[in-house]
Amino acid sequence: MTSLNLYGVPFSQPVRSVFWLLLMKEQPFRLVPTNPGSKGERGSRHPSYLAMNPSGTIPCLEETDTGYALGEGHAIMAYLCQKNGWTDLYPDDLQARGRVDWYLNFHHRNIRDASSGMVAPKIRKDLDIPESVQDRAKRTFTAGLTTLEERPLANGRFIAGDQLTIADLSAYGEIGQLQPQFTNVFEFDDFPNVQRWLADMQQAPFHDEAHTVLAEIGDISREAPSMDTIRSANIDAIGVLKAAVEGFSGA
Ligand SMILES: N[C@@H](CCC(=O)N[C@@H](CS)C(=O)NCC(=O)O)C(=O)O
């Protein structure tokens, strides 16, 4: 049986989206802690990691039996769905799949900017992200969220229609992290459809197990968490994932 290694840390948005998918499908995997941006032995810029994922970012998925490795959260989710026939989350009807792919492309440089505009500046002080870059990212994110509010989420329960798909798992990685019970760095009052969608997403299987890291770090709107807090939240979250996977029948 294929054994899966997922490289990353739970605090990473695209890593969370991938392991939420694996949890939902009760697919055993091992999270291999990998420091984003580090050239060290366990880092995403180490030569051995770059050999698996040339973009040097987390997540990366590795199949230990075939040796196949794949980076980029969306590519990984689409691969897993196609390989395992998870057509509920990535439909095989071309038009339905097209709507999922629309979001997966739209996500980058739109919704993904939530992290660079509001979360990374608090968490990664070392990056010294200029105010002007933060402001632009916030504007881009807000415009992207308005698009979701006024079209897909006004017309359907989820982003690609009335069924939850990997588009929602990806979007929640960014949008979900901003909620009051997590980082609390964005005001959702003007986005009622998005709020309804967020509430629906919280009811999806394994939501809580996939988001322990955010619950543990909590509100960062006033004070940035220390590196120790982030580290210990990541470690605790890895423990929760391990316990969840041990409960799967195929594990
Ligand atoms: N397009 C990539 C982006 C992944 C990404 O930005 N990962 C961050 C952590 S959340 C990272 O690895 N940063 C380290 C670096 O860029 O060196 C995806 O969606 O998988």
Nearest atom within ligand 1 for CA of residue 45: 17
Q: What is the CB < 6 Å shell around ligand 1?
A: 12-14, 36-37, 44-45, 56-59, 72-73
Choosing from 32, 57, 77 the residue with most ligand 1 atoms within 8 A of its CB, the one to mutate for a pocket test is 57
Residue of minimum CA distance from atom 11 in ligand 1: 57
116-133 as b/e, with b when 16 or more CB fall inside 10 Å? bbbbbbbbbeeeebeeeb
In 108-130, where does DSSP find H-type helix?
113-114, 120-123
Which two structure tokens, joined as six digits, stand for 190? 């003007």
Condensed to tens digits (0 to 9), the pLDDT of residues 134-178 reads 999 999 999 999 999 999 999 999 999 999 999 999 999 999 999
pTM metric for this prediction: 0.98
Choosing from 6, 42, 52, 58 the residue with most ligand 1 atoms within 8 A of its CB, the one to mutate for a pocket test is 58
| CATH fold of the domain at 94-207 | Glutathione S-transferase Yfyf (Class Pi); Chain A, domain 2 (1.20.1050)
Angstrom distance (rounded) from CA 65 to CA 3: 7
Give the Å distances, CA to CA, from 25 to 90, 136, 187, 206.
13, 37, 32, 10
Q: From the CA of 33, how far away is ligand 1's center (Å)? A: 14
Omega before residue 59 within 30° of 0, cis: yes
In the chain (251 residues long), the average pLDDT of successive 10-residue segments reads 91 98 98 97 98 98 97 98 98 98 97 96 90 97 98 98 98 98 98 98 98 98 94 98 91 64
pLDDT of amino acid 149: 98
Residue of minimum CA distance from atom 15 in ligand 1: 37
pLDDT of amino acid 251: 64
Could you tell me which CATH number the domain at 4-87+226-246 has? 3.40.30.10
First to last CA, the chain: 10
Domain boundaries of the chain, sorted by first residue: 4-87+226-246, 94-207
